[in-house]
């Protein structure tokens, strides 16, 4: 596996691969890999001849009071895990390389970024779309793989890619969960043992929602009341939002039907957690 540190070297490598007829799949990450990240790398390997994983803790997607400084990092461990998965390139640029002095350009997607996580994280998605746009230009992928845990992010990136006419297929990969049901996240390391138990309220609420859909419930407002009751009854959980939205437009849904996603965010202690579920999709065993 090759480790590339500069944008110029990254693009030079991509140009060589494309000239040789090799397709590229990109997995954008902020590092501190877990099984969820590794599953994205395996998916990328199925899609293209070459796999690039970017490892970049993107400062412009963090708010002033968020966890940029303490976000978990372990480059050597991440590099070893990526190499074990057969990744061709780990692209790990410095902040100054990605945002040279004088950088002023930002990429914004209107309409999809104001609600859900965007309501409490102003500017977050502009930071995400800006860095992903830069990665697309540098790596020149034919495919880009993102986890569905970041459901809103996936919808925003799909919209950006379509609007800017990029010939890139955006591939969403199913949420990977711990054995107890907690969605895998690099931020799970922040949780104490007690907080970890509280956090299971999110997956418990999703299981309840799926059961209610199987029973034929179609009223989204009723489902949201029940889900919120489960979360608020769980000690240690502070609910930020619980919504049923259209998977593409993120517009609130009044009726439960295919294409509607249950999305939620909550704080457990000082840790912000997100989770979601396509209530009509077949469950991954």
- CA-CA distances (angstroms) from residue 219 to 233, 249, 255? 22, 19, 5
User: Where do we find the tokens 């986890």?
Assistant: 147
What is the C-alpha to C-alpha distance for residues 162 and 93, in angstroms, rounded to an integer? 26
User: Where do we find the tokens 């295919």?
Assistant: 258
What is the C-alpha to C-alpha distance for residues 119 and 222, in angstroms, rounded to an integer? 23
Say if CB 124 and CB 61 are below 8 A apart: yes
Catalytic residue list: 37
Torsion over CA: 200, 203, 209, 210 (sign): negative
Structure tokens of 252?
A: 């609130």
Using alpha carbons, select from 7, 94, 14, 11 the residue that is nearest to residue 51: 14
Give 6's DSSP letter: S
What is the C-alpha to C-alpha distance for residues 31 and 92, in angstroms, rounded to an integer? 9
What is the C-alpha to C-alpha distance for residues 232 and 241, in angstroms, rounded to an integer? 11
């Amino acid at each position: 596996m090759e480790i590339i540190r500069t944008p110029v070297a990254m693009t030079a490598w991509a140009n060589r691969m494309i000239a040789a007829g090799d397709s590229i799949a990109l997995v954008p990450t902020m590092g501190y890999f877990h099984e969820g990240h590794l599953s994205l790398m395996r998916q990328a390997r199925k899609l293209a001849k070459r796999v690039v994983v970017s490892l970049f803790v993107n400062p412009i997607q963090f708010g002033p009071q968020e966890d940029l400084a303490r976000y978990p990092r372990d480059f050597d461990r991440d590099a070893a895990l990526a190499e074990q998965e057969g990744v061709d390139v780990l692209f790990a640029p410095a902040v100054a390389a990605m945002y040279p002095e004088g950088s002023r350009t930002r990429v914004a997607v209107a309409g999809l970024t104001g609600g859900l996580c965007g309501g409490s994280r102003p500017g977050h998605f502009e930071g995400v779309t800006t860095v992903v746009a830069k990665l697309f230009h540098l790596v020149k992928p034919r495919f880009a793989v993102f986890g569905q845990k970041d459901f809103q992010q996936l919808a925003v990136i799909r919209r950006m890619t379509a609007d800017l006419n990029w010939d890139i297929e955006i591939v969403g990969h199913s949420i990977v969960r711990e054995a107890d049901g907690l969605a895998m996240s690099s931020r799970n390391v922040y949780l104490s043992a007690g907080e970890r138990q509280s956090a299971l309220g999110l997956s418990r609420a999703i299981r309840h929602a799926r059961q209610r859909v199987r029973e034929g419930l179609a009223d989204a407002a009723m489902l949201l009341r029940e889900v919120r009751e489960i979360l608020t009854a769980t000690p240690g959980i502070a609910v930020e939002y619980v919504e049923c939205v259209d998977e593409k437009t993120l517009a609130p849904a009044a009726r439960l039907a295919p294409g509607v996603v249950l999305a939620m965010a909550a704080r457990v202690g000082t840790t912000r957690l997100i989770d979601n579920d396509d209530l009509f999709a077949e469950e991954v065993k």
